[in-house]
């Protein structure tokens, strides 16, 4: 466990009002807040998006979820939103994994895996006994891919190839490719705030995010801020795009 450098999962927990973080994470979080005082709102907005997203998926008849970069458990986990679904949580951060296992120990429909989402083969092997990949699965990557310094389209392509038709890929991702220059500046400030942590941020433009959904049919609305998916909420935008796609036949 790396406690010498701040970690994105523990920083996120701090912003959400959790208790599973260390002094180094709190200091990094305060540095991020100095650049963008709205950061806590950004984290809460992503969490609210996750809740709406899971409910939307269940309304489509999906009852299996693969939550990549699931983070430290807090209120509104996928298995709480969709209690009848089978859920696999995947994270590489040991604190996140241990707390998730503790929280879900009595839930036989929940499986927690410590794995790196950028190694899809390892992830898919680990969840194959819990999720039926021959049936539609919702693969969720909420507020995590902007911490990945890999070719996101290539990584997600492996998950796509393992998904049955009708499955869903859903992400939220920070970006400075925005129509509002002030919001773009606040997003760059967040990126700078994470620069010295163990989880630097890599922002992507709209074209890159669309490319990551090759082989999927994009669900309207496309490239909407997370606060306004699937419909406007009236909340302040946070500079993170919500993108949802269905696996084509």
Residue 63 CA: distances (Å) to CA of 4, 212, 242: 39, 24, 21
Pull the structure tokens for residue 116. 């790196």
What residues make up the domain containing 90?
A: 41-180+202-247
Looking at every residue in the chain, the average pLDDT score rounds to 93
The verdict on residue 59 lying in a domain is yes
**Predicted pLDDT at 34:** 87
Does residue 19 sit within a domain?
Answer: no
Q: Give 2's pLDDT tier (boundaries 50, 70, 90).
A: low
Residue 172 near residue 204 (C-beta atoms within 8 A): no
User: Residue 84 domain-assigned?
Assistant: yes
- The pLDDT tens digits of the residues spanning 17-49 come to 887 788 999 999 898 888 888 888 998 999 999
Residue 220 domain-assigned (yes or no): yes
**pLDDT score at 39:** 86
Has residue 26 been placed in a domain?
no
Q: What is the pLDDT of residue 37?
A: 87
Distance CA 156, CA 244 (A): 13
CB atoms within 10 A of CB 185: 14
When comparing pLDDT for 65 and 199, which is higher? 65
Whether residue 124 is contained in a domain is answered as yes
- Domain CATH for 49: 3.40.50.150
The number of distinct structural domains making up the chain is 1
Would you say residue 13 has pLDDT above 90? no
- 10 within some domain: no
Alpha carbons 194 and 220: distance in angstroms, whole number: 31
pLDDT band at 11 (very low <50, low <70, confident <90, very high): confident
Q: What is the per-residue pLDDT across 196-225, written as a single tens digit (0 to 9) for each?
A: 888 899 999 999 999 999 999 999 999 999
pLDDT band at 10 (very low <50, low <70, confident <90, very high): confident
pLDDT digits (tens, 9 = 90+) for 91-105: 998 888 998 999 899
C-alpha span between 116 and 123 (Å, rounded)? 7
- From CA 164, how far away is CA 224, in angstroms rounded? 26
């Amino acid at each position: 466990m790396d406690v010498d450098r701040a970690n994105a999962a523990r920083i996120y927990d701090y912003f959400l009002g959790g208790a599973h973080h260390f002094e180094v994470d709190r200091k990094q979080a305060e540095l991020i807040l100095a650049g963008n005082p709205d950061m806590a709102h950004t984290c809460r907005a992503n969490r609210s998006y996750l809740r709406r997203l899971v409910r939307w998926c269940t309304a489509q008849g999906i009852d299996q979820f693969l939550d990549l970069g699931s983070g430290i458990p807090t209120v509104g986990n996928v298995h709480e939103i969709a209690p009848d679904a089978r859920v696999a949580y995947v994270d590489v951060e040991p604190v996140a994994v241990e707390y998730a296992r503790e929280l879900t120990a009595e839930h036989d429909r929940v499986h927690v895996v410590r794995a790196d989402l950028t190694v899809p083969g390892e992830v898919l092997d680990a969840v194959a006994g819990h999720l039926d990949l021959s049936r539609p699965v919702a693969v969720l990557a909420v507020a995590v891919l902007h911490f990945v310094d890999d070719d996101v389209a290539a990584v997600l392509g492996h998950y796509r190839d393992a998904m049955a038709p009708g499955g869903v890929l859903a992400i939220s991702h920070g970006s400075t490719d925005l129509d509002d220059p002030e919001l773009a500046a606040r997003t760059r400030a967040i990126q700078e705030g994470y620069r010295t942590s163990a989880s630097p941020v890599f922002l992507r433009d709209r074209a890159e995010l669309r490319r990551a959904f090759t082989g999927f049919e994009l669900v309207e609305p496309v490239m909407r801020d997370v606060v306004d998916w699937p419909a406007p909420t009236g909340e302040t935008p946070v500079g993170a795009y919500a993108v949802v796609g269905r696996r084509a036949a």
